[in-house]
């Protein structure tokens, strides 16, 4: 089908988790990120930052009149090697700091290298316990799992243990989001009643990228259900392309990653 770039950009902006997960993040850079979220065309769904910057992000968003923008943070990030007890403590600390949403890395190595799905089940369950009703996005690191069978298995385990979203990637590995991985994840979500959302993260930087994933998400939820409750884009550089499309000035050069 033919897609309308402006309509797709408007939807993607509403579904954007504007992200900064850099080694040199600091309070000033997170405040600047919050200011970027105040666009003439509306605001993103969330800012995604490291746990240390959750209070900074919340204060900065409120100061910009963006109290409706949520603050997301990451745990077991980026390597996915912490124990369930360690991750449970990380989630509890993030919740107490004011995080609205949790993005947790699935222990993908255990599944890929040893066929161990129980490690993932235990970790997601620990996040669910500690986070209570906070939305939980489970990062599968699909570019490292690679095999569609493993991506499907990780998706099934995460949903069974209470994930609210399946997320592709940390943005910290060589291969991040791909249409093939999102298709597998979406199929599992659809088979389980489409009660969970889908987050596409890592390397999404252009309107063309967005349109590919919107098409895949429509196959899962139908166009009428697409919104921040069912779909997120995790990106840092995508915002400029969305605003350019909505301004009618064309897309700026793409810069991938977080």
Where in the sequence numbering do the catalytic residues fall? 103, 167, 199
Residue 228: half-sphere exposure toward Cβ, Cα within 13 Å: 17
- DSSP class per residue in 79-136: T----HHHHHHHHHHHHHHT-SEEEEE--HHHHHHH---HHHHHHHHHHHHHHTTS-E
Collapsing DSSP states into helix, strand and coil, what is residue 37?
A: coil
- Six-digit token pair at 231? 């779909």
Strands 16-20 and 231-235, by their bridges, are: parallel
Burial of residue 112 (number of CB atoms within 10 Å: 0-12, 13-18, 19+): middle
d(Cα 74, Cα 52) in Å, to the nearest integer?
10
What does the angle CA 149 – CA 170 – CA 29 come to, to the nearest 5 degrees? 170
Contacts of 143 (CB under 8 A, 6+ apart): 168, 169, 173, 174, 175, 176, 177, 178, 181, 202
What six digits make up the tokens of 2?
């033919």
């Amino acid at each position: 089908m033919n897609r309308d770039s402006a309509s797709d950009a408007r939807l993607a902006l509403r579904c954007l988790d504007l992200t900064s997960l850099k080694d040199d993040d600091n309070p000033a850079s997170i405040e600047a990120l919050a200011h970027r979220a105040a666009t003439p065309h509306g605001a993103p769904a969330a800012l995604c930052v490291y746990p240390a910057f959750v209070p900074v992000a919340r204060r900065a968003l409120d100061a910009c009149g963006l109290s409706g923008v949520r603050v997301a943070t990451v745990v077991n990030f980026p390597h996915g090697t912490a124990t369930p007890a360690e991750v449970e403590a990380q989630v509890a600390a993030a919740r107490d700091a004011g995080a609205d949403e949790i993005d947790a890395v699935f222990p993908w190595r255990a599944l890929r290298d040893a066929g161990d799905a129980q490690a993932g089940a235990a970790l997601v369950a620990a996040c669910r316990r500690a986070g209570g009703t906070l939305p939980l996005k489970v990062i599968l690191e699909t570019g490292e799992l690679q095999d569609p069978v493993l991506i499907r298995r990780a998706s099934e385990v995460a949903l069974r243990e209470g994930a609210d979203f399946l997320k592709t990637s940390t943005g910290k590995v060589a291969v991040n989001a791909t249409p093939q991985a999102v298709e597998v994840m979406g199929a599992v979500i659809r088979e389980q009643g489409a009660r969970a959302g889908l987050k596409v993260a890592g390397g999404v930087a252009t309107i063309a990228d967005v349109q590919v994933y919107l098409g895949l998400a429509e196959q899962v939820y139908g166009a009428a259900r697409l919104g921040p409750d069912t779909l997120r884009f995790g990106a840092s550089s995508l915002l400029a392309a969305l605003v350019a499309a909505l301004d009618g000035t064309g897309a700026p050069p793409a810069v991938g990653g977080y």
